[in-house]
Amino acid sequence: QVQLDESGGGLVQAGGSLRLSCAASGRTFSTNCMGWFRQAPGKEREIVAVITWSGRTYYTDSVKGRFTISRDNAKNTVYLQMNSLKPEDTAVYYCAASSTRALSYYSDDYNYWGQGTQVTVSS
């Protein structure tokens, strides 16, 4: 059974940092594009960052320069380092694995999802 387990969420003050981890089990995703998405209350799910097997990355404009996505293929794990957090970053963050190698920021291309981890940034 394939599972993506996120961890690292929590409550932090504005300007603080958190590091999210996503550990995959059940199969290897070393050649798949992996991504982080988020959904705030009353809003649609949106892309945050993605990374291909080769390390190519994409970030949504609102997090550029503050968030860094990385992966450790040997550990089948993806990370999201979040710095200079803002209250508008408050959301449930989801890890996802794409069905392909190609970089994609469309949620429809991702067919494995974690359960989500809450990130709350207080002002």
Q: Are 33 and 102 in contact (CB under 8 A)?
A: yes
Q: How far is CA 118 from CA 8, 52, 96, 109, in A?
A: 9, 24, 15, 23
pLDDT attached to residue 1: 83
Residues of the chain whose pLDDT is less than 50? none
**pLDDT reported for residue 27:** 85
| Contact call for residues 5 and 15 (beta carbons, < 8 A) | no
CA dihedral 100, 23, 56, 70 (to 10 degrees): 170
**pLDDT at position 67:** 98
**Helix ranges, the chain (H):** none
